[in-house]
Chains A and B, each alone.
Chain A
Amino acid sequence: MLKIDRLCVNHGLASALTGVSIEVNRNELVAVIGPNGAGKTTLVNAIARILPVHAGDIFFEGEHVTNLSPLELGARGVALIPEGRRLFTTMTVEENLDIGCYRTLARTHRAASLDHVYDMFPVLRERRKQIAGTLSGGQQQMVAIARALMSRPRLLLIDEPCLGLAPIIVSQVFEVIAMIRDSGVAILLIEQNAVKALKIAQRGYILDCGNIVAQGSPAELEAQGEIKAAYLGAH
């Protein structure tokens, strides 16, 4: 579904990604894990077409999308849940969700999509008239997820969804992501919490210093002793 081939991205003169190749298949949750500064957010922003790509190719459903704008890529069914949530903070919860289904096609399914996300997050139904900026961090993350789902994506890019959230909320967020995976949306999950991410992922990549240093199923990654010690924490 998504195929990244030898992607290179530079920040000024420094190279942030040096030839990263990853793949996400239909109905698959793929986790990209790695330490701070490994290039995880750079990777997802390059895929979402927010950052310019210097070399390499991005294919979505077999088509070359490296040169599309974020607007055009979104129209093809790729939605981003950005790091730090980045809600429309002065608007109500429901207005945020409305922007999620702003495109003509998504708009025709507004009622059904709203029911779907409100069933997933009942607290948002209660608070649909509340200004998004006044919600707790966990609720704001739910709005960010719900907003992306309103666009009826086929591929969801999720960047560090648990940043700054309380541990109990973190578990809820992972449960929700697993639910979305089960509903048939392909997901590329960028996460620092490797243990939790690999619990719900079918496959994982470990990114360090702009390179993929290991890949495979969660069991395969855990079996590699050095990797476990270096990136997954030695529990």
Chain B
Amino acid sequence: MSATLIGQSLLSGLMSGCLYALLGLGLTLTWKYLRIINLAHFALIFLAAYLTYEMSTRGWHPFLSALLLLPVFFMLGAAQQVLMSRYKVDEFASVIVTFGVTIIIESLIQYVWSADFIRVEKRLARGSLELGPWLAPWDQLIMCGFSIIACLLVWVVLKHTWHGKALRAQLDNPSIAAAFGVPNRKLSLALAGMGSAFAALGGVFIALLFTLTPSQIYSWFGVILATVLLGGLGSTFGALAAGMVIGVGESLTMALTAPAWAPIVPFTLLILILILWPERL
């Protein structure tokens, strides 16, 4: 086992961690603050990825696609929340309802783009950053930047703005918060919208970094749920740290054993979390 391989595994693991945090960000926020376990988040990520692909075949730069997708997905998320609160969907029912939505979106993607593998040819930047013997592809580094900035931004908003404080007050005691003028409903819609906008941002990077096929939606469930739960619901830096722990665990497992063993890391962690800290839910 060479130092080069170990170092590269660590680096790749950290970068995967940033991706996991970016993909889990919207999920952890709506789970904590709206008590909605939004499995449709994964489907929205892939819908955004396919739309990025579609626009790239027409010559759109991925950033331009993101600029369009973010507001559109914000509206989608808010609309979903309108329905969720209209029909008073609770935490457990939300798993089933949003899983249904996931299947619908998957079928839609398959109908429009077929189940064949597709790949966005456009890159944000060609090549890799060379750090001695180790390589960090530029596109992944850019994704890491976006992920860290998004986590930082959400943390600042939650901790230090009036909207963030109002959201936390609403979680603690909605009727008292309302009596002091906190607009519970508006805040919930805005938060759900933001969750979906983060799904769109994640989707743009999924399109840039991976080959797409609709059924891959489900392959992300385990690792992202493990990231969100290990990081602590609603915690953005927690998700970042947990993502990195899982990412490094996976890449070291791949390097030391075989790539096929990598999924054992998030699932083992998920099971351990559920056994050791069930209150994290």
Contact = CB atoms under 8 A, between A and B. Distances in A.
Interface of A: 48, 50, 70-71, 74-75, 79-80, 82, 86-91, 95-96, 98-100, 102-103, 106-107, 147, 151
B175 interface: yes
A70 B168 contact: no
Most buried by B among A79, A88, A99: A99
Contacts of B171: 90
Contacts of B172: 87-91
Given A88-B168, A98-B165, 6 more contacts: A74-B179, A90-B172, A91-B168, A98-B162, A102-B162, A102-B181
Interface of B: 162, 165-166, 168-169, 171-173, 175-182
11 contacts: A70-B179, A75-B181, A86-B173, A88-B168, A88-B169, A88-B176, A99-B165, A100-B180, A102-B166, A106-B181, A151-B180
Nearest to B172: A88
A80 B182 CA distance: 15
Nearest to A48: B179
A71 B162 contact: no
Contacts of B182: 99, 102
Given A86-B173, A88-B173, A98-B162, A71 B168 contact: no
A102 B166 CA distance: 8
Contact of A80 (B162, B177, B179): B179
A86 B176 contact: yes
A58 to B, nearest CB: 16
A107 B162 CA distance: 10
Nearest to A132: B172
Given A82-B176, A90-B172, A103 B165 contact: no
Most buried by A among B166, B171, B173, B175: B173
A111 B171 CA distance: 25
Nearest to B179: A70
Contacts of A70: 175, 178-179
Contacts of B179: 48, 50, 70-71, 74, 79-80
A37 B174 CA distance: 26
Most buried by B among A86, A96, A102: A102
Contacts of A99: 165-166, 169, 177, 180, 182
Contacts of A80: 179
Contacts of B166: 99, 102
Given A75-B181, A99-B180, A102-B182, A90 B175 contact: no
Given A88-B168, A90-B168, A95-B165, A102 B173 contact: no
Nearest to B177: A99
A167 B253 CA distance: 62
B176 to A, nearest CB: 5
Contacts of B177: 88, 99
Contacts of A82: 176
Q: Which 3 A-B pairs have the closest CB atoms?
A: A103-B181, A88-B172, A99-B169
A103 B180 contact: yes
A186 B262 CA distance: 67
B181 A71 contact: yes
